[in-house]
Structure 1
Amino acid sequence: MTRIDRFRALHAAPGAFVIPNPWDAGSARLLAGLGFQALATTSAGLAFGLGRRDGAAGKAETLANARAIVDAVEVPVSADLENGFSHDPEGCVATIRDAAAVGLAGGSIEDASGDPARPIYGFDQAVERVAAAAEAARDLPFVLTARAENYLHGKPDLDDTIRRLQAFSKAGAEVLYAPGLTELSQIRTLCAAVDKPVNVVMGLKGKPFTVAELAEAGVKRISLGGSLARTALAALHRAGVEMRDQGSFGFAAEALTGREVEAYMAPHKGDRG
């Protein structure tokens, strides 16, 4: 089976699966080594690694990061492609084709515009963008996830979110995603209203539901967004504060050993063995 075949099979299997979000090749190898069957990139994690705020990485940097992750692992990788790096359907099509060319099994297109004055695309424009991306994805093939971003941009309107996801499904998206839902009842209502696999994100605000609870609500896929990168940065922050304020190094007692880390990593081409 190809990576895309395996990715689609995960969405067709019973229950829910976790698709964690590495931010570079090393974190990808560790997560794949732990047995996760698919991975997803994170725009926030990439931006933080570049010393920037979320959303500040461009298309070229995003795809270079995705290629590094794809090349580091054997499992399918899906990418956070933000708004397709374009307001126009044609630009979304180009992004989907470029994403497939770096070896990605799938990726997401969102309806957030990046414009603070008009953060969410109008309904018709949002659907047109997904329809164009979906047509390109079918020809590749490529697993397209369509995201409705209302809840992340100050518009907690479940009815409009469901309406958008239903239209995205009809336009050809294979997976549907509405980040920012905080109540299990909202998630259950959304899953019952659509006919495609639903992705939710954990690690943001709200109750940290379990995989079993989310599966019971109808969720198929569970991602982590930038929360794993933020968790790693939190450990670095604690270590830095300890060194600065206490002059001690107790944090190292919880670190993985070099041997443990290297067990997940590939040897360099110049290394022996």
Structure 2
Amino acid sequence: MTKIDVFRALHRKRAQGDPLVLPGPWDAATARVFAEAGFPALATPSAGVAASLGYADGATPADEMFAAVARIARAVDVPVSADIEDGYGLAPKELVERLLEAGAVGCNLEDSNGGALKDPHEQAEFLAEVRSAAADRLFVNARVDVFVHGDGDPERAIERAALYVAAGADCVYPILAPTAVLPLLRAGIQGPINMLARLDGEGPSPAGLGELGATRVTFGSGLQRRATAAVQEIADALKG
């Protein structure tokens, strides 16, 4: 099986309470740590990669992001999906080519830009063009930003998700959706759902999110921020 075949298979027939857990490496070293720990696939976080490169979230130049993804994918044998924000304004064909050149098997694509939601029909058209250019070579995770930049209405999230799935998205990611609405989202959305897990103990565990309907779980930049906090503690101890 190719890496994309493996990645697709990991999303199929997940038992309730057993979601696909995808840690987010921000460089080659952390990718190797997660792969050697036994995780079957990884998903880069754009904010975590940005921080590792010295940029604010959303400010990483496309060339540097793709180069970082390539270093991560090259460092491990497991499939790597890449968070590429809203696509950096690239045409679908070029976007797909650059992802494949970097060694990615999938991507996250946001439906907002500059803090504002995009028109869902235009976003669906964009996703359809990405799917057409990629054929079966990429797993497309369509992020739904209703709970970040919209009114937080689950029905709006479900409506957007339906358009994106119809356009060919393989998975839907209602980022920062409250745990309480996950069962409603699960009932209204066809196919896999990606949920964000918190590391501060405030939200459900990955298994808990799986019980509520999540197919897969990612962590955003949470792992990178936690690692940075640990480095800060070491720095403070050295200085003190």
Q: What range describes the TM-score normalised by the shorter chain of this pair?
A: over 0.9
For 1:135, give the aligned amino acid. Answer: S
| Cα distance in 2 between the residues matched to 1:171 and 1:66 | 25
Aligned residues of 2:41 and 2:78 also touching (Cα < 8 A): yes
SS of the counterpart of 2:56? coil
Partner of 1:151: 147
Q: Secondary structure at the match of 1:135?
A: helix
Matches within 5 A, 1:8-157: 8-15=8-15, 16-86=19-89, 91-114=91-114, 116=115, 119-138=116-135, 141-157=137-153
Compare 147-156 and 192-201 and name the one that shifted more. 147-156
Q: Which amino acid aligns with 2:6?
A: R
Mapped partners of 2:154, 2:199: distance in 1:
18
* Percentage of identical aligned residues: 35
Residue 165 of structure 2 aligns to a residue in which SS? helix
Give the count of matched residue pairs.
237
Query: How many angstroms does 1:218 deviate by?
Result: 1.7
2:157 equivalent in structure 1: 161
Q: CA deviation at 1:180?
A: 0.7
Contact kept, 8 Å, 1:182 with 1:205, in 2: the verdict is: no
**Which structure has more RCO (C-alpha within 8 Å, separation ≥ 6)?**
2
The one-letter amino acid of 1:223's match is: T
**Matches of 2:150 and 2:164 in 1, distance apart?**
21
What amino acid sits opposite 2:213 in the alignment?
G
Letter in 2 for 1:225: G
User: How far did 1:204 drift?
Assistant: 7.0
- Bigger Rg, which one: 1
Residue number in structure 2 paired with 1:237 = 232
Letter paired with 2:95: T
How much is the aligned-residue C-alpha RMSD, in angstroms? 1.7
Q: What is the CA-CA distance between 1:155 and the residue it aligns to?
A: 2.8
Counterpart among 170, 189, 197 of residue 192 in structure 2: 197
Give unpaired runs (5+ residues) of structure 1. 248-273
TM-score by length of 2: 0.93
Q: 5+ unaligned residues in a row in structure 2: which ranges?
A: none
Give the structure-1-normalised TM-score: 0.82
- 1:137, 1:144 within 8 Å by CA — same for their partners in 2? no
Residues 53-76 of structure 1 deviation map (CA, whole Å, 9 limit, x = unaligned) = 111112111111111111100101
Q: Indicate conservation of the 8 Å contact 1:182/1:207, yes or no.
A: no
